[in-house]
């Protein structure tokens, strides 16, 4: 009974803190613009292949397989974690044993994946500590990002240790009768062989509490770290942009303005409900769609996007990963200020200028290599293009070469500096040679 009370208190605190965090994040989403969804059949297929099947991350034969195995392992282990929550709340013990022959499969798979994930996490820690993987570095990767990664890997490592310790003690308490269920824990049995029955029960409780408390701590740390993708990656894949990557989003507001310019009488027929948009493009996080914000929350900071960006590879400042990280950071800054000071508050800062420079934005070639490579289907170019649209349409702040081209199109109907009547001169020169 005491165990249930203590567990109930810890569970209540965990859910309360997580609920408050979820509410705050939901409030951030309310600051963003709409984003249309639909075609759920295609989306579910995308979720099955890219999300659950990890098809994009498996393009890398070594690191990709390692990450996919950790992901699949977590899916299996989560079933056992759910059982622990039920046991802790109701005071039961291994309540899912009532599933019959399904239970050994669940427990055995969880035990096998626990051992596999333990080894893989150790390998990930080794890679970060001793192998200079280029995509792990960059101007945007501050020390806190590295600490974040090490902390998450460390917690996952301890979760697997506690799970294997729990299974081993349980197997020993039952005189190794479950060894054929537990392929990894049965190998650890000699570590507990000389312990008394009371000592085994004590270790069983220690590992049980260690595992469940670490789960609760991890769940509440995730929303404040890059590992929030544990919760957001699958929804982000489900809500992926379904249009071809090279297709630019339409601007209905701009189309309306152009039509009004072509038909001035229509301008006088505009109702108050059809008032001119407050802004073309994206200047700050309150101008982005909720999908772009979800993209930023789903970013794992893995650097695969930046690693294939041709602008970044040629020494330019653009880093698609930084775009997502800056969007997430700016929303946290501005959203928090709006909640404290009111919806009319302005801190005099914006996403463009204070976080992302025009130089970064204009370096993008919109080749979509970053979106193609992202394992959780983040679409960085759509946000980059939206910010460039603001610079071009609202600030007329475009690179000199682009300004020249636009002026030529306006004056000559072509990107070249020569008027239309002189375009055929090159043929005349050829006939006289």
pLDDT tens profile 43-62: 999 999 999 999 999 988 88
Q: What is the CATH number of the domain that holds 310?
A: 1.10.1060
CA dihedral sign of residues 60, 61, 63, 67: positive
DSSP 265-287: HHHHT--GGGPPPS-SS-SSGGG
Number of domains within the chain:
2
pLDDT in the model for residue 323: 97
Q: What is the mean pLDDT of residues 23-47?
A: 93
In a domain, 99, yes or no: yes
How high is the pLDDT of residue 326?
A: 96
- Where a domain ends, among 177, 211, 238? 238
Residue at which a domain ends, from 238, 268, 284: 238
- 245 lies in some domain: no
129-138 mean pLDDT = 87
Asked if residues 293 and 126 have their Cβ atoms less than 8 Å apart, the reply is: no
State how far the alpha carbon of 62 is from the alpha carbons of 67, 124, 130, 216, in Å: 9, 12, 17, 31
Same domain? 125 vs 234 = yes
Q: 68 and 202: one domain?
A: yes
Q: Kindly calculate the radius of gyration of the chain based on its CA atoms and give it in whole angstroms.
A: 28
Residue 272 above 60 pLDDT?
A: no
Looking at the fold, whether 149 and 88 belong to one and the same domain comes out as: yes
pLDDT at 72: 94
pLDDT tens column, 161-208: 999 999 999 888 887 777 788 999 988 888 888 888 889 999 999 999
Q: Is the pTM of this model over 0.85?
A: yes
Residue 11 in domain: yes
Is the pLDDT assigned to residue 273 strictly greater than 70?
no
Name the nearest CA neighbour of 248 among 364, 407, 107. 364
Q: State the Cα–Cα distance between residues 417 and 423, nearest whole angstrom.
A: 10
Q: What is the per-residue pLDDT for 53?
A: 94
**pLDDT, tens digit (0-9, with 9 covering 90-100), for 82-130:** 999 988 888 888 888 888 888 888 889 999 999 999 999 999 999 988 8
Q: Could you report the per-residue pLDDT of 397-417, keeping only the tens digit for each? A: 888 888 888 888 888 888 888
Average pLDDT, the chain: 89
Note whether residue 42 is domain-resident.
no
Is the distance from CB of 169 to CB of 196 less than 8 angstroms? no
Q: What was the pLDDT predicted at 268?
A: 58
- pLDDT exceeding 90 applies to what percent of the chain? 55
Q: Count CB atoms within 10 A of the CB of residue 367.
A: 15
CA–CA distance, 336 with 341 (Å, rounded to integer): 9
Domain hosting 381: range is: 252-398
């Amino acid at each position: 009974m005491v165990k249930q009370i203590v567990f109930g208190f810890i569970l209540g605190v965990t859910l309360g803190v997580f609920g408050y965090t979820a509410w705050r994040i939901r409030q951030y989403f309310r600051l963003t613009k709409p984003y249309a969804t639909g075609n759920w059949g295609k989306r579910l297929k995308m979720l099955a292949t890219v999300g659950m099947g990890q098809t994009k991350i498996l393009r890398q034969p070594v690191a990709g397989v390692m990450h996919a195995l950790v992901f699949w392992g977590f899916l299996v282990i989560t079933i056992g974690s759910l059982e622990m929550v039920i046991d802790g709340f109701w005071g039961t013990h291994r309540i899912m044993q009532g599933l019959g022959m399904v239970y050994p499969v669940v427990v055995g798979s969880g035990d096998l994946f626990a051992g596999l994930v333990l080894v893989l996490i150790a390998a990930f820690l080794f890679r970060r500590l001793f192998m200079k993987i280029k995509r792990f570095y960059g101007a945007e990767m501050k020390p806190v990002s590295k600490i974040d990664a090490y902390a998450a890997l460390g917690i996952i490592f301890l979760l697997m240790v506690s799970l294997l310790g729990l299974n081993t003690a349980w197997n020993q308490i039952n005189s190794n009768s479950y060894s054929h269920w537990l392929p990894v824990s049965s190998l650890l049995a000699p570590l507990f062989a000389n312990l008394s029955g009371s000592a085994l029960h004590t270790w069983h409780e220690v590992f049980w509490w260690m595992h469940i408390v670490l789960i609760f701590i991890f769940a509440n740390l995730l929303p404040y770290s890059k590992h929030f993708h544990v919760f957001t990656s699958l929804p982000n894949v489900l809500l992926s942009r379904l249009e071809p990557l090279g297709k630019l989003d339409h601007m209905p507001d701009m189309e309306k303005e152009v039509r009004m310019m072509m038909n001035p009488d229509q301008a006088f027929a505009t109702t108050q409900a059809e008032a001119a948009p407050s802004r073309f493009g994206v200047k700050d996080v309150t101008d982005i769609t909720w999908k772009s914000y979800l993209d930023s929350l789903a970013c794992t900071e893995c650097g695969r996007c930046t690693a294939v960006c041709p602008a970044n590879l040629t020494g330019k400042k653009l880093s698609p990963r930084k775009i997502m990280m800056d969007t997430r950071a700016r929303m946290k800054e501005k959203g928090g200020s709006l909640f404290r000071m009111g919806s009319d508050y302005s801190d005099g800062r914006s996403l463009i200028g204070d976080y992302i420079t025009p130089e970064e934005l204009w370096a993008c070639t919109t080749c979509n290599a970053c979106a193609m490579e992202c394992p959780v289907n983040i679409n960085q170019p759509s946000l980059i293009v939206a910010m460039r649209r603001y610079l071009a349409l609202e600030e007329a702040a475009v690179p000199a070469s682009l300004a020249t081209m636009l002026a030529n199109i306006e004056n000559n109907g072509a990107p070249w500096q020569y008027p239309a009547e002189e375009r055929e001169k090159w043929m005349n020169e050829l006939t006289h040679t």
